[in-house]
Structure 1
C-alpha cells in the first residue's frame, strides 16, 4: 500500500517538506561513505531554506499548547485510555520544553559558521563542491565515517527540537482523521466538503493497481483524478475503477 498526503494550506505544506528533508537527512547521516555524508550536510542547508520563516517556532509552540489543552479536556472521558493519553501529553510537554529552550533563530549556529557557509555557497552551484573549489571540505570528507558523523550531528543538534516538535504535531494531525473506503469511478472521485476546513488529506492505495492520484481541493470540494504511466513515464488517464482509503485530517 502507498500513502499519499496532500496539505490543504501552506503551513502544513511547510511541515511536510521539513519532515521529508529530515527523513532523508537521518538516512544519509547513518551511512558511511563521504558522498552520503555530503548529501546529509547539503540536506541541512535545504532545511534552513525551508525553515527560514521567523514564526515557525512560535506556530509550533502555539499548536502544541492548543493540543495539550484539548487533550486535557478528555481526561474525565471514560472512553479514553489514560495511559495512552498521558503518553501523548508527555510527548507534547517534552517537545514544547525543548523547543522553548532552543535559543536564537533556527539554524543560526550553521549561519555563524563561516566554513559551513562557504560550503553552502558552493553546493548551490552545479558541481561547485569539487576538491579544487573546496580543498578543506575535500580533506574533511577523508576523515573517518565516525568523525564525519559526529561533526554533522553536532551541527544539526540545535535544529533537533524543531524537528521533534514537527514530528509530534504531524503525528497528532494524522491521528485526528477517520478513514473511509471508497471507489473512484472510471479513475475520478469528487466529494463536497461543504465549507468544512481540513488541514491534510491522506490517501491509501494498493500499489499493484498502478494508479497515481492527482489531488486538488478547496474548502468546498475535493477532486482526485487517477493517472497511470507508460514505459516513457508519460502520464495518462486511468480508465478503470480505483478502490482507495481516504482520510481527512483536522485538529
Structure 2
C-alpha cells in the first residue's frame, strides 16, 4: 500500500530527509557498480550538508531520553507488551550510547579527510568530477567493487549513530498513531485539528489500485489534502472523483 509521510515541523522534516538519504546511500553501496558507488558518495555528501545545518546530536539525544522516560513509565501496566517495550527501550539506550560515545562534531572524521572534501567541493559543480577534473577520483573508482565498498562503509560508519538514532525515533513516531478511513469528496479533504498536543506528522495511505497521490497543506490547526493524478508530459491534475484513503496522525 503506497504511503506518504508529511511532517508538520522542521525537526521531523530533517529526520525524514536524513532517513531518505541514508536509505539511498545503503542501496547504492550494496549495488557494487562504480556508478552506484559514485551516487553513494554524492549521497553521503548530502547527508553531511544536512547535519551541518542542524543541532542534530543534542536534539536526537534529548528526544531519545524523553522517549525512554515515557516508556519506562509503562512498565508493569496492564495491556502492555513487555517484550516489545523492553526491546524498544534497549534500542533507545543503544542509540543514545552510540551518540554519546561520539564526543566530537558529528561526521568530523569525514571533514578531516582532505581528499574527500576536495571531491565534495567539485561534486557541487555539474559534471565537476570527470576524470580530467579529478584524476584521483577516477583512479579510486577503478580500484574495484570490494575496495570501494570497504571505503564507503568505513565513511558511512562515522554517520551511523545518526542513522540508528533517527530510525528509533521515526519508528516510535510512526507507531504512535491510529489509522482512520476517510473519503475525500471529489478528491479534496479537510480536517480541523484540536487538542493540547498537536500532531507532528501525518501519513496518508492509498490502495494499490488507486492512481493518485496526495498534496498536503497542514499545520497544528488544520489539514488540507488534495489528491492528484499524473500523466506523463502533463501537469498533475486534481482528481474529480471521490477518493478512499487512510489517515494516520502521529506524535512523539
Shared fold (TM-score, shorter chain, > 0.5) = yes
TM-score by length of 1: 0.97
CA distance in 2 between counterparts of 1:23 and 1:145 reads 19
The aligned counterpart of 1:199 is 200
TM-score by length of 2: 0.97
> For structure 1, which runs of at least 5 residues remain unmatched after alignment?
none
Q: Does 1:172 align with 2:180?
A: no
CA contact (8 A) 2:110 2:158 kept: no
CA distance in 2 between counterparts of 1:246 and 1:233 reads 28
CA contact (8 A) 2:173 2:251 kept: yes
CA distance in 2 between counterparts of 1:118 and 1:53 reads 20
The aligned counterpart of 1:18 is 18
Q: Does 1:46 align with 2:38?
A: no
CA contact (8 A) 1:28 1:39 kept: yes
> For structure 2, which runs of at least 5 residues remain unmatched after alignment?
none
SS of the residue corresponding to residue 93 of structure 1 reads helix
CA distance in 2 between counterparts of 1:54 and 1:207 reads 36
CA contact (8 A) 1:201 1:247 kept: yes
CA distance in 2 between counterparts of 1:174 and 1:189 reads 22
Shift of 1:233: 3.6
SS of the residue corresponding to residue 209 of structure 1 reads coil
Q: Does 1:137 align with 2:137?
A: yes
The aligned counterpart of 1:239 is 240
The aligned counterpart of 2:224 is 223
CA distance in 2 between counterparts of 1:121 and 1:98 reads 29
CA distance in 1 between counterparts of 2:79 and 2:37 reads 48
Say what the alpha-carbon RMSD is for the aligned residues.
1.1
Shift of 1:208: 2.0
Q: Does 1:67 align with 2:67?
A: yes
Deviations 1:197-240 (A, max 9, x none): 11100010024221110100121111101111223241111000
CA contact (8 A) 2:74 2:80 kept: yes
Point out the more displaced range, 21-30 or 102-111.
102-111
The aligned counterpart of 1:154 is 154
CA distance in 1 between counterparts of 2:220 and 2:249 reads 12
CA distance in 1 between counterparts of 2:178 and 2:131 reads 53
Dislocated runs of 4+, deviation >2 Å: none
How many residues end up aligned between the 2 structures? 251
Shift of 1:54: 5.0
